[in-house]
Structure 1
Amino acid sequence: MSSLRVGFVGAGFIAKFQVQAIAQIRNMEVAGVTSRTRAHAEALAQQARAAGVGEAVVYESISAMAPHVDAIALYAPNYLRVAMMEEIVEAVRQGAALKGVICEKPLGRNVAEARRLVDLAASANLHTAYFENQLFMKPLRTQMAQLAPQQRTMGPPALVRSAEEHGGPHEAWFWDPTRQGGGVLSDMGCHSIAVGWYALTPLGKPITFLQPVSVSAEVALLKWGQPHWQQQLLDRFGVDYAKTPAEDFATGMITYRNPESGQVVKAQFTNSWMFEKQGLRLLMDGMGPGYAFEINTLASSTQIFIGDVAAEAIANAEAALEKATASRGLLTVHHNEADLYGYTDENAEAAAAFLAGRDGFLPWSYGLEITRLVMAAYMAAERRQTLDLTDPAVQAGLESYVPLIQQGRGAEVLR
């Protein structure tokens, strides 16, 4: 079997997760790694080699790595990606024979940035894959396959609700709205919005078949703006929510129209950085005429209990569950989070696509549309009104819109 030699840009949390995923597939290997922090790149390369997924040569720059890989995966912070993509395009112009480029969600911090990335990839004739792992989750795809007969008989779902929640990100730049692009709506709302749109789409139709009609949303700072937690955030990450706050809670509703039947369907999204249960929870459910589905990643088939007397022996709670909040009591355990959350399948699909000379299932043009919906949700929250996504003035405004929270002016929205 042919294997896609991928070069990683970035060596943080998500890159480590992706190495775990690649270890479970046969058509991709980690050929190179580059990071602004050499020690991080060396550590990730060692992880990849130990997992047997490639040579993982450490390079000083994207330009140095590009001639030695088939594709490049951008796992670096959001605020760096445009400049990194410009370096990739220049490397192609200098002769690097890249087949494609991968970008971890979100594609851009705003529509203008996402569109710039799409245009850059097109200028270098590069195939693209937008990594939205939740659309590759086996539980989500299994329920769609299982309910396919009901869809054909009764019609597609009419309502989908999707939530992703945990206690907050690992790294400082995620908390900084000017670097990350906002708060939890930018970070995790892109997941939940994508799940809703995808799960509502009728069988056999393109991923953007349903037309967005309207969006309403609310954002709030419910936990991390309180003095105790605000100080903890400042002490731990150097991020001051007294000056530049971001939302730790977001919820909203997007209405879609089926362009063939005229049917109106709805997708609700909810996201928070203030979830106080065992750890990361993905909660998805949907309803159609006479059928329904529900996915809850905290309802694991494996649970363990650790009493107080034995709690000192635990080594690493996150080995059992991402964003774990406890190391004793009744704990949820996932034996393979990289597969559960869809990372294995998104890598396998991207590799197959690039090796076949085509875009991934989710090209960057799709990532642009998700960014547009996230920005529309921010705009609706700022205006405190339901936004008409069919209004040409709204569509034009979204092209240059930068949320107040992303500008560092979150106090005007969240206070």
Structure 2
Amino acid sequence: MKRAKVAILGAGFIADIHLESYTRYVPEAEVVAVYTRDAEKAKAFAEKHHIPHHYSSLDDLFSSAEFDVVDICLPNFLHKDATLKAAAAGKHIIIEKPLAVTLEEADEMIAACEKAGVKLMYAEELCFAPKYERARKLVEEGGVGEVYMLKQSEKHSGPHSDWFYDVNLSGGGVLMDMGCHGIAWFRWMLKNAKAVNVSASMKTVLHKGRTKGEDVSIVTVEFENGVIGLVENSWAKQGGMDDVSEIYGIDGVAYADLFRGNSVLAYSRNGYGYAMEKTDTTVGWSFCVFEEAFNQGYPQELKHFIDCVLHDKEPLVTGKDGRAVLEIIYAAYASAGQGRKIDLPFHQRVNKPIDLWLKP
């Protein structure tokens, strides 16, 4: 069987999820190298996952290792540089959300990949999550009639890594981290219908001493076909993670909950956590997810991209889709900052999207 060789950039939580997905579900791929800025962390990750090569320099990775695909699982502010170097080296790229920090970076990344003739896939796992996909197919089968509203929410008490809280590194708060999922899913459900305006409200309620970013956001997107999308996100919700979609049609309704029904209901006085590190997020009642990677669509999206590379197909979700999501995020920050509806297309040059809220 022909296999694509993969280099993973990053060694954090999401890189672990991707590595597990390749190992368990994508036999067409072989992870041959890992890069992270910390040499010891790169070595430890490689040893843990039996990866033959590890690097703490992107230049060394691209000049020394032989591979076909770059899987970018790095912090947001590193996306552009990694993408440009991968494109220049002729590597196909799958990149975690958000595509970039700014629209200017996104445009540069897309142009570089087009010039180099390499594939660029925007890794939106909700477009591949089994429950969400079954709900989409139910809609296509006429199960709810004409859709008039979509809702998606993702909520928990905060991200795994400290860099998410630094808006200079992340570009924003919970909207940049999780709101991008709901926005991308709206476009996926609506076959990339054009968004025409955005309204948003956001605030910081739990992490005031830790970040300038919002930890609660509500965004409404109106599309050209008349459908309204409402995405709710929170870093302030206790008791574990929620990820839910709702589809409203004139003849019916459909709900998809990624974790409840695929979890263990638990109560803990002391808490438990990822890699056995106890955290306050799991004190009390919570839902223990036993198949996070599969339920959220990570293996399915990676398998799809490897198939695209091996058989020269266009990915279903591309860098241009990631840019469209980022433009809506820009408009949402501007709406929250100005207290009014923002029409699309929208582009205002800023250092980071959240500046449109913090400095309207």
TM-score, normalising length: structure 1: 0.80
Q: Contact 1:300–1:333 at 8 Å: present in 2 too? A: no
Alignment partner, residue 325 of structure 1 = 281
Change (3 A) 1:404 1:71: closer
Amino acid corresponding to residue 29 of structure 1 in structure 2? E
C-alpha separation in 2, matches of 1:128 and 1:45? 25
Q: SS where residue 23 of structure 1 aligns?
A: helix
Alignment partner, residue 8 of structure 2 = 8
1:124 aligns with 2:111: no
Deviation at 1:145, TM superposition (A): 2.2
Q: Contact 1:3–1:29 at 8 Å: present in 2 too? A: yes
Alignment partner, residue 261 of structure 1 = none
Alignment partner, residue 148 of structure 2 = 158
Alignment partner, residue 198 of structure 2 = 215
Alignment partner, residue 57 of structure 1 = 53
Alignment partner, residue 398 of structure 1 = 347
Q: Contact 1:74–1:81 at 8 Å: present in 2 too? A: yes
Alignment partner, residue 39 of structure 1 = 40
Computed over aligned residues only, the root mean square deviation of the Cα atoms, in angstroms, reads 2.5
Structure 2: gaps of 5 or more residues = none
Q: Contact 1:177–1:246 at 8 Å: present in 2 too? A: yes
Alignment partner, residue 286 of structure 1 = 247
Alignment partner, residue 27 of structure 1 = 28
Equivalenced residues, count: 357
C-alpha separation in 2, matches of 1:14 and 1:287? 32
1:343 aligns with 2:310: no
Q: Contact 1:101–1:129 at 8 Å: present in 2 too? A: yes
Q: Contact 1:109–1:180 at 8 Å: present in 2 too? A: yes
C-alpha separation in 2, matches of 1:73 and 1:322? 29
Q: Larger radius of gyration, structure 1 or 2?
A: 1
Superposition pairs of residues 302-321 of structure 1, within 5 angstroms: 302-305=263-266, 316-318=272-274
Deviation at 1:305, TM superposition (A): 4.1
Deviation at 1:128, TM superposition (A): 1.1
- 1:299-341 alpha-carbon deviations (Å, 9 max, x no partner): 2344254565xx6xx8x433699987125x5442222110001
Q: SS where residue 355 of structure 1 aligns?
A: helix
C-alpha separation in 1, matches of 2:238 and 2:293? 22
C-alpha separation in 2, matches of 1:113 and 1:135? 24
Q: Contact 1:163–1:270 at 8 Å: present in 2 too? A: yes
Deviation at 1:102, TM superposition (A): 1.2
C-alpha separation in 2, matches of 1:300 and 1:109? 35
Deviation at 1:2, TM superposition (A): 2.1
Change (3 A) 1:116 1:353: same
Superposition pairs of residues 374-385 of structure 1, within 5 angstroms: 374-385=329-340
Structure 1: gaps of 5 or more residues = 50-54, 93-97, 202-206, 234-240, 259-263, 390-394
Deviation at 1:189, TM superposition (A): 0.9
Deviation at 1:72, TM superposition (A): 0.8
C-alpha separation in 2, matches of 1:321 and 1:147? 41
Amino acid corresponding to residue 317 of structure 1 in structure 2? G
Change (3 A) 1:386 1:70: same
Q: SS where residue 8 of structure 2 aligns?
A: strand
Amino acid corresponding to residue 114 of structure 1 in structure 2? A
